[in-house]
Structure 1
């Protein structure tokens, strides 16, 4: 663990390889410099390593064959921009408990600064699919929310990730998700704290129906109680969103009672005071 006096950072950015973002990696780095960031993390969607096809879902994630090229490009840009901005090599990996050992060797092969673990599917359906809620009664809604957080808990226990991505993103297109009553969120945060994994404050909620950030202020207050480390990610799929609302998030975290947040360099946590 190291400490850095002050840094403006964004650890969650995408680019054209994933098939649903605009711009090249260089565009995100240039945008970060323009906005006065000291650190920019590139964390595009990892390939679906468990499928036979090279690119099983062209509009969701990069091809398996693109993965080494992605790493090589970020490493080259890291060197090129040295002295101007620190470029970090990250990846956003889908968490599928049944395939975790399939993913691990790919990530161990390369010098990632950090890996973001994100749950994007519950019961085989995208968390952003609002149609999934239509026919569910109250009990089934609770069950769905609990399954989502059980997956997040398992991802925290897996030891594969430094950061957990957007931990209440299921509210994205279904804002009343937050009102489904269950104590599973608290249980999950306790496990995240015990396993010393960070969660991101992800400002891309503003691009969805729910508005605002992931996770909610209520969850951030609970996370602080359980000693959960926090980091920042815009989840930019467009260079214009790099560093989006960084200062507002810092202000909110201070109000909640956080004293610091962090980023990762070679999987070593770098503490930045708020």
Structure 2
């Protein structure tokens, strides 16, 4: 059983291709399940699309959902198409997002922290002129947000939980107990984390999260899933087999995906 739960398409403004292109790529890759999970609109904004190069417009959301549901029917019997969304997490706006999502038949929702301290986690400049103590404070603020997202009850999966290292690889070496504490919180709230292979497209290379975090996840009983975070169809299922092999080496016996928000356990 092969699956990929994290894919995007052109509505978000920074990915290429139509949803159909990602489904066709999944079939070519031999996947049994493909999840469509484009970036959520900024639902708390008064503007329809305040950041057109980051997320889709609020006015596009119904069309997005309906297109996925129609393609699910069209491809039935060839591949299982799942309706997902990658949701931003803003604690002050969580209720707004939750009230929107309850109106749609999502198979799963990925909760991802993309901003910390009001700055993108991918902003290289945030690390300049910070001493080590301040860098650790930035890291701990990020993991505080991930803990809040885990406790929110909005998500089945947490996305790329160490992606702040993308353009600052030294992030992984900043010591703090917050990382292990966060994995405990994720376990307590029975969420899955994704192994996200898009880190290879950033300065850090490799995957999110690090092997050390996956080892802690195994220790605390956190389920894992797979997401390429493809922004071009050619990256669908990218390094799936390598991830599967590495998880076996670490000691995992299974991974999961979600359908109608119910956990589906797949042997490695």
Both structures adopt the same fold (TM-score exceeding 0.5): yes
Question: For 2:136, what is the secondary structure of its paired residue?
Answer: helix
Structure 1: state its 5+ residue gaps: 1-6
1:173 aligns with 2:167: yes
Q: Which of the residues 218, 221, 240 maps onto 1:224? A: 218
- Which residue does the alignment assign to 1:185? 179
- TM-score normalized with structure 1 length: 0.97
1:36 aligns with 2:36: no
Moved over 6 A (4+): none
Aligned residues: 268
1:93 aligns with 2:90: no
Of structures 1 and 2, the one scoring higher in RCO (CA 8 A, sep 6+) is 1
Instruction: Render the CA deviation track for 1:109-128: whole Å, top value 9, x for unaligned.
Output: 00000000000001000000
Residue 204 (structure 1) shift = 0.1
Q: Give the whole-Å Cα distance in 2 for the aligned partners of 1:138 and 1:206.
A: 26
Question: For 2:122, what is the secondary structure of its paired residue?
Answer: coil
Residue 186 (structure 1) shift = 0.1
- Which residue does the alignment assign to 1:157? 151
Q: Which of the residues 44, 57, 70 maps onto 1:50? A: 44
1:8 aligns with 2:19: no
- Which residue does the alignment assign to 1:133? 127
Residue 135 (structure 1) shift = 1.1
Q: Give the whole-Å Cα distance in 2 for the aligned partners of 1:145 and 1:45.
A: 23
- TM-score normalized with structure 2 length: 1.00
Q: Which of the residues 102, 109, 125 maps onto 2:103? A: 109
Q: Give the whole-Å Cα distance in 2 for the aligned partners of 1:135 and 1:159.
A: 37
- Which residue does the alignment assign to 1:197? 191
Could you say what the CA RMSD is over the residues aligned between the two structures, in angstroms? 0.4
Which runs of structure 2 are paired with 1:10-29 in the superposition (5 Å)? Answer: 10-29=4-23
Q: Give the whole-Å Cα distance in 2 for the aligned partners of 1:155 and 1:104.
A: 12
Residue 71 (structure 1) shift = 0.3
Instruction: Render the CA deviation track for 1:19-45: whole Å, top value 9, x for unaligned.
Output: 000000000000000000000000000
Q: Which of the residues 228, 234, 243 maps onto 2:228? A: 234
- Which residue does the alignment assign to 1:147? 141
